[in-house]
């Protein structure tokens, strides 16, 4: 059972990393007009 917990944590970390990477890429391709705007997006997510 410990391996299942480790796998779940790895999947969660991988998902978070993928989301952060995608959001970073989106910000790079589409720079927000103000640096304050990404904050509500993080709260919604």
pLDDT tens readout for residues 19-42: 888 888 877 676 656 555 555 555
Cβ neighbours for 27, distance < 8 A, ≥ 6 positions apart: 38
Q: Which residues contact 45 (CB under 8 A, 6 or more apart)?
A: 19
Percent of the chain at pLDDT > 90 equals 18
- CB-side neighbour CA atoms (13 Å) of 39: 4
Q: Quick check: 7 pLDDT over 70?
A: yes
Based on its alpha-carbon atoms, the radius of gyration of the chain, rounded to whole angstroms, reads 15
pTM, two decimals, is 0.49
Domain count, the chain: 1
Task: Supply the range of the domain harboring residue 17.
Answer: 2-44
């Amino acid at each position: 059972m410990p391996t299942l917990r480790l796998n779940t944590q790895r999947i969660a970390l991988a998902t978070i990393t993928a989301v952060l990477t995608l959001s970073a890429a989106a910000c790079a391709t589409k720079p927000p007009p103000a640096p304050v705007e990404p904050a509500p997006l993080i709260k919604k997510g």
